[in-house]
Chains A and B, each alone.
Chain A
Amino acid sequence: MTHQPPYLIVVDDDPDFLDLNRRMLEKAGYRVDSFSTVSSAIEAMRADAPDLIVTDLMMESLDSGFAFSEALKSDPELKDVPVIVVTAMTSQRGFDFRPHGEEDLAAMNIDAFFEKPVDYGKLLAKVGEILNRTGG
């Protein structure tokens, strides 16, 4: 299914980021749905696959952001949907989640990584770049 304009899904358990990310992406001309839990997002995506996902890392549990992208990659319908992680959870409990290159991104099953607060200029540029590449 193709959308005109591209269809994006935003997942974050912080209501302010959810609201902010949704509005900024909408302002840039995308169609956006936002979800505060991984389960509600996955349910919605099964009905209507998005062109790109912007998600937080730290949600109900420590690694649910990774588990989320892993679940997506194992779903034949959703495996090609690009994932951008936007998180404040970069060094919680001694773990450093920051990817240090393409290899790390691949290991994390994600396409891009941003630290909160995100520079929307850079985020929008990345979204545009990925959508161009995938033809979304």
Chain B
Amino acid sequence: MADEVARILVVDDELGMREGCSKVLSSEGFEVETAADGLAGLELFRKRGNFAVALVDLKMPGMGGLELIEHLRNHDEDVAIFVITAYAAIDTAVEATRRGAYGYIPKPFTPDELVIPVRNGIERRALNIEAKRLREERERRLLELARERSKSSTIINCMADGVIVVNRDRQIVLRNNAATRIIPDFEQVPLSSPLERLGFDPLQKLIDEALAEPSGPVIASNELIIDKSTYMASISPVLEPNGEAAGAVAVLRDISALKKLETAKSMFISMVAHEVKSPLAAIEGQLMAVLSGATKDDREHETALLERALLRAKNLRTMVNDLLNLTAMETGNFTIRRLPINVREPVEAAIDANREKAGDLNITLKLDMPAPVESQVLADRDSIFLILMNLIDNAIKYTRPDGHVLVSFTDNSSYVKIAVKDDGIGMTPEQTDSVFDEFYRVKNEHTVNIPGTGLGLTLVKRLTELHQGSIKIQSEPKKGSTFTLTLPTVG
């Protein structure tokens, strides 16, 4: 700022005065602009701006000096304004100062009497500006700090994880909203309370351990159960620059959902293992019986055992296939190619594929299509076939000999409806509710000899969902079941 050439405005109605000032100040290296009256001076000041000093004559026609001073001051609070006048009356000087003048240069004056106050004015103005800048900067910093503080506390309070900070003296010095929510009655405990007031021993123990031996970024983490939820508690030391522990911060993260998933996963694996183990044990038992020679005098029994073993092995393979398909669907690796097709072909193919089995059991398997179905469905042909295969196979399996399985096939402008109805053993409402669950099988005296994987209907349900369709069951024990598949039509 000091290197910058200071600009000075001279406003006086006397030409001689303007020229005199201009000459003296220019020779001192200042840049000088002049105006002959108040209005012109104000105009110039407004237009050019950034004057360091203004020299204003009090007595001017039009806008007077006092009025101009006031305007200039309003416009720029830093400019050093000097009054130049022959009327060196005290009261005028006071009034001029009150309105924002900085000093007084009485006429007539020597060049020095002009230059010295002007230099002083420039310097004071620079100091003023610098002081103001520092003040503003300080205020801005304070504001930023305050903002920063409220920002951090807002962030800490908005965290889903519970945060508790304890100082070296084991006093609770900070906690966020989540922490008061997680720990029962924590809200009633005032800040600065000793750690014991936490009222939760396992966490207290962890924090005490952290305070005793502060090392590493996380010194203790443990699963804690609070109010039926599982939390992962991680305690880190709050270290001072010299490495000493100023306290410890505990973070509590709710991992209940993860734990539930973990449990569900191990339950599922355990179920799969059991479902695989049972048929394997049966096959092994049958083979062991044959190999032990127990059946060597009874060829018929031996054949029966081996045939059963083969059936169980086939059933096991179907189950593994179903399981692989289900897993592929879950991980998104199951590809279906949905094309606009008439699902009549896969429906009829599934009926044909089951005809022999139905015939063996003397079960009547019929297709009921009151009107030709022309609607197209956006579907994967093989998936529709698989769905119908499962539904018809189930209907035959759970229908007594001489029973009936009726596949009805209808459509309208918005959907295609395929119903598989049997007059078999039927299900209770509870059984109906569970029938799509993995490995669920209806167990009663009628179902003992019926082989199954417990996955067929789960697969049917998933495949139906992949087609934006729905599957509904109507069932009554001893009366039979109807599975109705509804698929939206194209366009």
Contacts and interface: CB of A to CB of B under 8 A. Distances in A.
Contact of A15 (B288, B444, B448): B448
A16 B292 contact: no
Interface stretch (A18-26, A77-85, A103-111, A128-136): A18-26
A48 interface: no
A14 B278 contact: yes
Nearest to A88: B281
A118 B285 contact: yes
Contacts of B285: 16-17, 20, 116-118
Contacts of B301: 23
Interface in B272-311: 274, 277-278, 281-282, 284-286, 288-289, 292, 294, 301, 305, 308-309
B292 A120 contact: yes
Contacts of A116: 278, 281-282, 284-285
A100 interface: no
B445 A13 contact: no
Interface string A15-39: 1111110011001000000001100
Contacts of B294: 24, 27, 120
Nearest to B277: A88
A100 B309 CA distance: 31
A121 interface: yes
A63 interface: no
Given A16-B285, A20-B305, A121-B292, A36 B266 contact: no
Contacts of A121: 292
Interface residues of B, number: 26
Interface size class of A (residues with CB under 8 A): 20 to 34
Contact of A93 (B270, B286, B289, B309): B270
Interface in A53-98: 59-60, 88-89, 91-94
A93 B267 CA distance: 6
Q: Is the interface of B mostly helix, strand, loop or mixed?
A: helix
Contacts of B309: 16
A2 interface: no
Nearest to B450: A15
Contacts of A23: 289, 301
A118 B445 CA distance: 24
B288 A119 contact: yes
Given A15-B449, A20-B305, A60-B443, A92 B278 contact: no
A13 B451 CA distance: 11
A59 B444 CA distance: 10
A5 B281 CA distance: 29
A36 B445 contact: yes
Contacts of A16: 282, 285-286, 308-309, 312
Contacts of B292: 120-121
Contacts of B278: 14, 88, 116
B282 A40 contact: no
Nearest to A21: B285
21 contacts: A13-B443, A15-B448, A16-B308, A17-B285, A20-B289, A23-B289, A23-B301, A24-B289, A27-B294, A36-B448, A37-B445, A88-B277, A93-B267, A94-B270, A116-B278, A116-B281, A117-B281, A117-B282, A118-B285, A119-B288, A121-B292
Closest A-B pairs by Cβ, 7 of them: A117-B285, A116-B281, A36-B448, A117-B284, A16-B282, A88-B281, A117-B281
Given A20-B286, A37-B444, 6 more contacts: A16-B308, A16-B312, A20-B305, A88-B281, A94-B266, A120-B294
